[in-house]
Structure 1
């Protein structure tokens, strides 16, 4: 079988660069300083660091879990009276339906403030 040549059928000479070599030669030069290659990775040191990080994470998780359990065991302090939310609900304020209309939201807010103002001034008379 005859060797395959270039466009005209003439075989490529040994001293001429091939197509792949010409593409490499025409590549633009990198901009900026040329950095040295990174140092080789010491996988033993890497694994030791990874194990240490995992142990630290486990200790932190255990401490957080213990803190959460301790907080759950402490009962909420009861001041002997109703909460602010309970007091607010007893006043039967107008409810807000979650409307996106700013006029409705504004009128609801005015009703809440007017009711609060009336309750504040009613006790002072």
Structure 2
């Protein structure tokens, strides 16, 4: 007769933990105070802030790019800036 898994209420071996004992071991009790749930999110306000941040980033990037091109132009190493100017 082949050995198969326990079925029909066969007793567990002494060295094998029971299923409910394993569940208790896997879910330890929470440590520290229990925090209240976070407040609800107003996604309209969130999206406005996100759009504003993206616009600010684009503006900053454009400003930095213009400053970099102007600096390169001042150094005389940027051919496009000096071409056609005499």
State the TM-score, normalizing by the size of structure 2.
Answer: 0.49
Aligned-pair distance for 1:41? 1.6
CA distance in 2, matches of 1:115, 1:47: 44
Q: 1:11 to 1:58 in 2, by over 3 A?
A: same
Cα deviations across residues 41-65 of structure 1 (Å, max 9, x unaligned)? 2111110011000010011011111
CA distance in 2, matches of 1:59, 1:120: 22
**Which position in structure 1 is the counterpart of 2:84?**
123
**Which position in structure 1 is the counterpart of 2:24?**
24
Contiguous gaps of at least 5 residues in structure 1? 70-112
CA distance in 2, matches of 1:64, 1:47: 26
Aligned-pair distance for 1:66? 1.2
RMSD: 12.2
Number of equivalent positions: 82
State the TM-score, normalizing by the size of structure 1.
Answer: 0.35
Contiguous gaps of at least 5 residues in structure 2? none
